[in-house]
Structure 1
Amino acid sequence: MRVLVTGGAGYIGSTVASACLDAGIEPVVLDSLVTGRREFAEGRVFYEGDISDGPLIDKIFGENPDIDAVVHCAALIVVPDSVADPIGYYRANVTKSLEFVDHLLRNGCTRMIFSSSASIYRAGDDHTVDEQSPLDPQSPYARTKAVCEGMFADIAAGHPIKILSLRYFNPIGADPEMRTGLQLRRPSHALGKMIEAYEDGVPFQITGTDYPTRDGSGIRDYVHVWDLAAAHVAALRRFDALEAGVINLGTGAGTTVRELAEAFNRVVDRPIELVEAPPRPGDVAGAYTRSDLARRLLDWRPRHSIEDGIRHSLEWARIRESRLA
């Protein structure tokens, strides 16, 4: 099997590509390198360019006519940035995805897995969601994912293409073999900020402390990126038999930011200090999945703990500069 991975030189896309390789699936990587890293595509079939570039997509399929499916990971993903630049986010995530699917149809590609997000849900009072929960995205980034899902459903209803949306919760960790990890030196999510605070010897800011959670901090479903990648391999293997159009990928356990910090301090040799701060633009209380659909349909369940994710993130942070030119 050969699979086109868009955004395949980014954090999640490169990890999916590694998992595919380990499973005997050959990834073909497409990445504009706006946020991705060329180093993450080394030793893989790689095309540098944009998903909306029709002639490039035609070239990829012309040179790789045996591509069986696409994993579409290419997107901008930083919530505060989407608040500051909604036009840029809609253009990158929605407009270009529409053009991309049109190019896929022209080239006879009939299978696509879409990297979606659990940020599109409206969480219940208990902060849990399943695939049938109402949608209520609270940031431009989240709305781009919701718009794409609706757009893809309409396209799949009228054209010979099947599209599966995998709604990620909160990826942490790195490839356990340290082939790839977070490419950003200063990532904006909670664990990245904890590592930054640890490295710099400064307090970690808990942004938002008045949410209706058990300790006032935001709650998330932290899932190891290698487990996410394994779910993509399982979805590719079972794609034609799947009837669901949406599957949640999470651990099924909610962890607050304070609890994540406590887990972080159990792993490191020098605990970080915690201070409270206001929420960032676009931040929400959060949610975690109560669904077991991924287990039933994909025979998938997370294998790595939060502590594993923290350890692998710290290990990657120590070697990142030596891996990235």
Structure 2
Amino acid sequence: MDVLVTGGAGYIGSTVASALADAGHHPVVLDDLSTGRAEFVRGRTFYRGDIADAGLVRRIVARHPGIRTAVHCAARVVVPESVARPADYYRTNVTGTLELAEALSGCGVHDLVVSGSASVYGAGPDLAVDEDAPWAPASPYARTKAVAEQMLADLAAAGRLRVLSLRYFNPVGADPWLRTGPQQPRPGHVLGVLADCRRTGAVFPVRGTDYPTRDGSALRDYVHVWDLARAHVAAVEHFERALDGRRAQAINLGTGRGTTVRELVATFARVSGHPVTVADAPRRPGDTAGAFARTDRAARLLGWHAERDLATGVADLLGWLDRRPAVLAGISADPVGSPGFPGSTR
């Protein structure tokens, strides 16, 4: 099946595209390469452009009439940046998503699998959340994800779309075959920062030490990016079943286990063989105690559960970081032609 993948040159989107291709599907990637890498779409059908460009979306669907489902991974995702530049986040994550959804539904693509976020939740006393947990988004990033999800649910209720929102917890790791992985030179995600500290000898900051967790550091549910990609394939292949009679459905994607930052540091040291010096540091704007997933709905509707543990995620990330210079070096910055259509397709 042809599947449109927005943001398919980024960390998660490229992994999703690989998982779809491995399962026998044909990913058609749309990405503006603002943060994604052209190297990640080599050999794929690729269009460079903005998700808000309705004309481009219509032309892509016309050129690939087999597209019946879109997987929407394109988003801005860095919490501290969202605090400093909220307008950019609302423009991409909300307005861009609306324009994309309207363009897709207008040309007959009514099924949308969306990268949602567990950051919308307000965790209860035990920090576990299911899909019916109350929302309390604590950053502009989280609020854009909440607004976008509610907006898509409203469009679905009006009969324009059917939407599966896959609420990710905290992605880690890399493609197990090291085809793709985190692409930013300066990592913002916690495992990337740990790896950078190992490489440079810098001190790793434990940001916040007074959270209501077992050791005072923040707690997260770290889910391997390949497990996330597998869930997207399941959502595409079992879309009708996953809706469970609704037009919009949310499904948590996590391991069902919480790991504190201090426990993460210990796992990283064990897997890498290199201890990292840590120091307590203040919380950042937008930081929260965290949460972990209840995943019964994913098991029931998608037949999915996480298979790779945190240690595997650390090992895969370290393997990718060793390989990354060979993957991302020595290739033209724009091997797919000039922006637009059709010159940017390959």
**SS in structure 1 of the partner of residue 243 of structure 2:** coil
| 2:158 aligned partner | 158
| 1:92 aligned partner | 92
Q: 1:189, CA displacement in angstroms?
A: 1.9
| 1:65 aligned partner | 65
Q: 1:201, CA displacement in angstroms?
A: 1.4
| 1:260 aligned partner | 264
Question: Which AA in structure 1 matches 2:194?
Answer: M
User: How many residues are aligned here?
Assistant: 325
The reply to whether residue 120 of structure 1 matches residue 120 of structure 2 is yes
| 1:208 aligned partner | 208
CA contact (8 A) 2:208 2:216 kept: yes
CA contact (8 A) 2:252 2:294 kept: no
Question: Which AA in structure 2 matches 1:31?
Answer: D
Separation of aligned partners in 2, 1:264 and 1:291? 25
Q: 1:106, CA displacement in angstroms?
A: 1.1
Separation of aligned partners in 1, 2:301 and 2:159? 24
**SS in structure 1 of the partner of residue 205 of structure 2:** strand
Separation of aligned partners in 2, 1:294 and 1:312? 24
The reply to whether residue 198 of structure 1 matches residue 202 of structure 2 is no
Question: Which AA in structure 1 matches 2:324?
Answer: R
Separation of aligned partners in 1, 2:317 and 2:197? 14
**SS in structure 2 of the partner of residue 242 of structure 1:** helix
The reply to whether residue 249 of structure 1 matches residue 253 of structure 2 is yes
Separation of aligned partners in 1, 2:295 and 2:181? 27
The reply to whether residue 284 of structure 1 matches residue 288 of structure 2 is yes
Provide Cα deviations, 1:52-97, integer angstroms capped at 9, x if missing partner: 0011111101110110200000000000000000111100110111
2:321 to 306, 317, 321: 317
Q: 1:159, CA displacement in angstroms?
A: 2.5
Give the structure-2-normalised TM-score: 0.93
| 1:48 aligned partner | 48
Separation of aligned partners in 2, 1:42 and 1:189? 25
Give the structure-1-normalised TM-score: 0.98
Provide Cα deviations, 1:30-70, integer angstroms capped at 9, x if missing partner: 00000000000011000000000011111101110110200
Structure 2: runs of 5 or more not aligned: 330-346
Structure 1: runs of 5 or more not aligned: none
**SS in structure 2 of the partner of residue 231 of structure 1:** helix
| 2:340 aligned partner | none
Separation of aligned partners in 2, 1:156 and 1:15? 27
The reply to whether residue 273 of structure 1 matches residue 244 of structure 2 is no
Question: Which AA in structure 2 matches 1:218?
Answer: A
**SS in structure 2 of the partner of residue 103 of structure 1:** helix
| 1:109 aligned partner | 109
**More displaced 10-residue stretch of structure 1: 158-167 or 175-184:** 158-167
Q: 1:246, CA displacement in angstroms?
A: 0.4
Separation of aligned partners in 1, 2:189 and 2:178? 20
**More displaced 10-residue stretch of structure 1: 154-163 or 300-309:** 154-163
Identity of aligned residues (%): 56
Separation of aligned partners in 1, 2:318 and 2:74? 25
Separation of aligned partners in 2, 1:291 and 1:56? 36
Separation of aligned partners in 2, 1:166 and 1:99? 20
Query: What is the alpha-carbon root mean square deviation over aligned residues?
Result: 0.9
